[in-house]
């Protein structure tokens, strides 16, 4: 999606869906760079954490989880 499409969809998604937001502080990004973990890997770990949190919150409910790839090249992100 383009930034404009995301902006337009955001209020609708908020009304219709349960969602979680995770803000990755700059200090964590900086520290992972020192530990040789790239940004895609950090985003992958954060995405997994949010999926787990959603599953726990929605115990027993049927779930559809949509994840927007943080990398414009989704195959590169998927190969982390």
Q: Which pLDDT tens digit goes with each residue over 32-50?
A: 767 777 887 888 889 899 9
What is the distance in angstroms between the CA of the first residue and the CA of the last residue of the chain?
21
Q: Model-level pTM? A: 0.68
User: Is 66 a member of any domain?
Assistant: yes
| Average pLDDT estimate for 17-37 | 83
Is 41 a member of any domain?
Answer: yes
Structural domains counted in the chain:
1
Is the residue at 33 inside a domain? yes
| Range of the structural domain that residue 47 is part of | 24-78
Is 19 part of a structural domain of the chain?
A: no
Report the distance separating Cα 51 and Cα 65, nearest Å: 8
Using pLDDT thresholds of 50, 70 and 90, give the confidence band for residue 77. Answer: low
């Amino acid at each position: 999606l383009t930034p404009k499409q995301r902006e337009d969809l955001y209020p609708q998604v908020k009304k219709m869906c349960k969602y979680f937001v995770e803000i990755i502080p700059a200090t964590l990004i900086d520290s992972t760079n020192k530990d040789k973990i790239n940004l895609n890997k950090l985003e992958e770990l954060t995405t997994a954490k949010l999926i787990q949190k959603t599953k726990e919150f929605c115990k027993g409910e049927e779930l559809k989880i949509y994840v927007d790839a943080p990398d414009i090249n989704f195959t590169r992100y998927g190969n982390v």
